[in-house]
Amino acid sequence: MPEINESSTITINLKLFWSLIVALAISISSVIGVYYELDKRISAAKELPKPGTGFYIVDRSDPNAVDSWPVSKIEFTIKGDQIARDEIKRIKKALKDNGIEVEEPE
């Protein structure tokens, strides 16, 4: 096995030399392409709305905001009460179908 030292020489033919240059150029251009792609995505992300404090406000005067979330407190209460009443009716019907009588509160 030959010794490798400061006076050792390496012979590279022209085909290998140009192959190494092309591989290096492709690698560098790939890194530059990834850099600019990430830069573009970061710039786009900076333009997105910032996370808020958890409050969602709807401008009720906006015609596109009709029937949008969040519902008003009264509407939420009415819908919640209706859902609860419907569930009670469904349970009473299921109990009645199984032969269990439910007394109505006074």
Residues 12-44 have pLDDT tens digits of 899 999 999 999 999 999 999 999 999 999 999
How far, in Å, CA of 87 to CA of 94, rounded?
Answer: 11
* Residues 65 and 59 sit within 8 Å (Cβ to Cβ): yes
| The pLDDT value given to residue 43 | 93
Q: What percent of the chain has pLDDT over 90?
A: 32
- Write down the H helix ranges in 1-106: 14-47, 73-97
Question: pTM for the full model?
Answer: 0.39
| The pLDDT value given to residue 6 | 85
